[in-house]
Structure 1
Amino acid sequence: MKKIGFLSFGHWSPSPRSGTRSASDVLLQSIDLAVAAEELGAAGAYFRVHHFAQQLASPFPLLAAVGARTSRIEIGTGVIDMRYENPFYMVENAGSADLISRGRLQLGISRGSPEQVIDGWRHFGHVPEAGETEADMGRRHAETFLDLLRGEGFAEPNPQPMFPNPPGLLRLEPHAPGLRERIWWGSASNATAVWAAGAGMNLQSSTLKADESGEPFHVQQARQIRLYRENWKQAGHAREPRVSVSRSIFALVNDQDRAYFGRGESSDQVGIIDNMRAVFGRSYADEPDRLVEQLRADEAIAEADTVLLTVPNQLGVAYNAHVLEAVLTHVAPALGWK
């Protein structure tokens, strides 16, 4: 059994061929797609976060709106770039969004992706400390965020406050019970997966991975997941962790699908990203019976409990709902995913 959700990058473009020509289009259609996905029986609605780009950025207004319009589906990110975040304000935003959704928030956080601008986090007021890299800074922000989510008091109350205080040190409000266990770390390497296991975060294995062995993407990713689970067990955490992988999967069930995606089998791609040799996973697009056989051979999907389907959001809500329905109806049952 696997949870199946979608992951939207939230692109918009003024092109007349785009179904999302503005930020408003993307935000409103993202809410509508989450509602449609819930009606179809999908388990999750996840959104990417990119700053300085014509894509979804500040996630919490969108997450809160989705939470208010839905009742069952998990709502998450993949991922929030912690180099840009004030962990204190983020705890308040996350707590509010989680309470609006009644405990359905699943927040993916990470060091972040390659940027649109040079050192964009500096424009948000964040600078690495002496001896830190920007990645170190992102992990430090994440550790502070995790500590604050525990809801323990740390701030000395004013002896003459505007409003009465409870006894003892004060915590940030609103507090969202259980959210600390619903934080995921987006990892592109074995080392950061191990770090996430030690920190007690769920794992979002990235859409790309540091090429650490030259093997196919799904083989390296499966090894990363197994390493993560081993280190989780060694860390002695009481609960079972969750692991997600993201895939572009299109079941070709009509002529429109074949026109968009029926270009033959794809393969992994290797490139340099942020001075790192990385392997990018292939897309899957085929007739349902052949697609099932291809997905059965994906070792990382077999290791994960959650599969996030990356959707072409610029093709509009109706078509993306069709993409989800095709996988849920024609592929997932044959693979035993649901």
Structure 2
Amino acid sequence: MKKIGFLSFGHWAPSPQSGTRSAGDALLQSIDLAVAAEELGADGAYYRVHHFARQLASPFPLLAAVGARTKSIEIGTAVIDMRYENPLYMAEDAGSADLISGGRLQLGISRGSPEQVIDGWRYFGYQPDEGKSDADMGRSHAEVLLEVLQGKGFAEPNPRPMFPNPPGLLRLEPHSEGLRERIWWGAGSNATAIWAAKLGMNLQSSTLKDDETGEAFHVQQAKQIRTYREAWKEAGHAREPRVSVSRSIFAITDDRDRAYFGSGSKEQDSIGHIDANTRSIFGRSYAAEPDRLIEELKNDEAVAEADTLLLTVPNQLGVDYNAHVIESILTHVAPALGWR
């Protein structure tokens, strides 16, 4: 059995060809798609965060709104770039969104990837410490977030407060019990997957990772997942971890699917560089009639290893079409693969 959700980047473009022409459209349609996905029986509604781009950015108002409009679906991010984040303010926002949703928040964070502007985190007021990189800074912010989410008091109370304080040091409020165990790390390498396991974070692995062995993407990703689980076991955590992978998967079942994806998908992995020093491998997409799709997905080792699958959706094609994309996978593909 797998949990199956969608992952939206929330692209918008002010053009006649786009069904999502403004930031307002992207936000409102994101909420509507979560509602539709829940009605279809999907397990998760996840959103990517990018700054300085015509995409979804500040996640917590959206997560809170989705939480208020839905009842059972998991609500998450994949991922928030921690280089841009004040971890204490983030803990308050996350606690609020989680309480509004009734404890359904699954918060994916990461050190981030190259953005729309050069060193965009500098505009947000952040600078790596002397001798540290921006990636180090992102991981440091994540460690602070994990610490304050435990709910322990750390701040000295004012002896003459405006309102009465509980005894002892004060923690951040609102605190949402259990959220600390629902933090995920988006790992681009085996080393950061091990680091995440040691800290007790769940693992998110996307459609790209560092090309560490030259093998097929799904093989490298499956090895990353197994390495992560070994590190988790060695760390001695009491609970079982969760692991998600992202995929672009389209079942061609009608003329609309055929028009959008019938000419074939990116059926091979590709190699590129997300920065000057990192060779990355980008996983293939899947688009085919259900019978062929099922056979192709049987051979994806990483999908087999993961307990959660996030379907990347073409959000600019509109809520109705994306609900159809999700329904097609749930109906025509998932049962045959034993995911449902």
Question: Same fold by TM-score, threshold 0.5 exceeded?
Answer: yes
- 1:267 lines up with 2:268 in the alignment: yes
1:227-276 deviations in whole A, cap 9, x for unaligned? 00000000000000000000000000001101101122511111111121
Q: 1:206 Cα shift?
A: 2.1
1:225 matched residue in structure 2: 225
2:139 matched residue in structure 1: 139
TM-score by length of 1: 0.99
The SS at the match of 1:244 is: strand
1:202-242 deviations in whole A, cap 9, x for unaligned? 00012201001111000000000000000000000000000
- 1:309 lines up with 2:315 in the alignment: no
2:296 matched residue in structure 1: 294
**Pairs within 5 Å for 1:126-165:** 126-165=126-165
Q: What is the CA–CA distance in structure 2 between the aligned matches of 1:98 and 1:256, rounded to whole Å?
A: 37
1:28-51 deviations in whole A, cap 9, x for unaligned? 000000000000000000000000
**Pairs within 5 Å for 1:180-195:** 180-195=180-195
TM-score by length of 2: 0.99
The SS at the match of 2:29 is: helix
Could you tell me which amino acid in structure 1 is paired with residue 41 of structure 2? G
- 1:277 lines up with 2:279 in the alignment: yes
**Pairs within 5 Å for 1:38-57:** 38-57=38-57
* CA contact 2:9–2:49 (8 Å) conserved in 1: yes
Q: What is the CA–CA distance in structure 1 between the aligned matches of 2:218 and 2:98, rounded to whole Å?
A: 32
2:328 matched residue in structure 1: 326
* CA contact 2:113–2:274 (8 Å) conserved in 1: no
1:172-199 deviations in whole A, cap 9, x for unaligned? 0000000000000001111100100001
Q: CA RMSD in A?
A: 0.5
Q: What is the CA–CA distance in structure 1 between the aligned matches of 2:66 and 2:186, rounded to whole Å?
A: 22
Could you tell me which amino acid in structure 2 is paired with residue 175 of structure 1? H
Unaligned runs of 5+ in 2: none
Q: What is the CA–CA distance in structure 2 between the aligned matches of 1:203 and 1:17, rounded to whole Å?
A: 36
Aligned residues: 338
Unaligned runs of 5+ in 1: none
Q: What is the CA–CA distance in structure 1 between the aligned matches of 2:114 and 2:37, rounded to whole Å?
A: 29
* CA contact 2:206–2:247 (8 Å) conserved in 1: no
The SS at the match of 1:169 is: coil
1:241 matched residue in structure 2: 241
Could you tell me which amino acid in structure 1 is paired with residue 154 of structure 2? F
* CA contact 2:190–2:227 (8 Å) conserved in 1: yes
The SS at the match of 1:4 is: strand
**Pairs within 5 Å for 1:109-120:** 109-120=109-120
The SS at the match of 1:321 is: helix
Q: What is the CA–CA distance in structure 2 between the aligned matches of 1:98 and 1:260, rounded to whole Å?
A: 36
The SS at the match of 2:25 is: helix
Q: What is the CA–CA distance in structure 2 between the aligned matches of 1:73 and 1:124, rounded to whole Å?
A: 32
**Pairs within 5 Å for 1:87-106:** 87-106=87-106
Q: What is the CA–CA distance in structure 2 between the aligned matches of 1:291 and 1:243, rounded to whole Å?
A: 22
* CA contact 2:85–2:141 (8 Å) conserved in 1: yes
Q: What is the CA–CA distance in structure 1 between the aligned matches of 2:186 and 2:264, rounded to whole Å?
A: 30
Q: Mean alpha-carbon deviation: is it higher for 204-213 or for 235-244?
A: 204-213
Q: What is the CA–CA distance in structure 2 between the aligned matches of 1:264 and 1:22, rounded to whole Å?
A: 29
**Pairs within 5 Å for 1:23-62:** 23-62=23-62
Q: Runs of 4+ in structure 1 displaced over 2 angstroms?
A: none
Q: 1:310 Cα shift?
A: 0.1
Could you tell me which amino acid in structure 1 is paired with residue 312 of structure 2? T
1:136-177 deviations in whole A, cap 9, x for unaligned? 000000000000000000000000000000000000000000
1:97-152 deviations in whole A, cap 9, x for unaligned? 00000000000000012111111001111100111100000000000000000000
Q: What is the CA–CA distance in structure 2 between the aligned matches of 1:263 and 1:222, rounded to whole Å?
A: 29
Q: What is the CA–CA distance in structure 2 between the aligned matches of 1:118 and 1:306, rounded to whole Å?
A: 33
Q: What is the CA–CA distance in structure 2 between the aligned matches of 1:219 and 1:285, rounded to whole Å?
A: 20
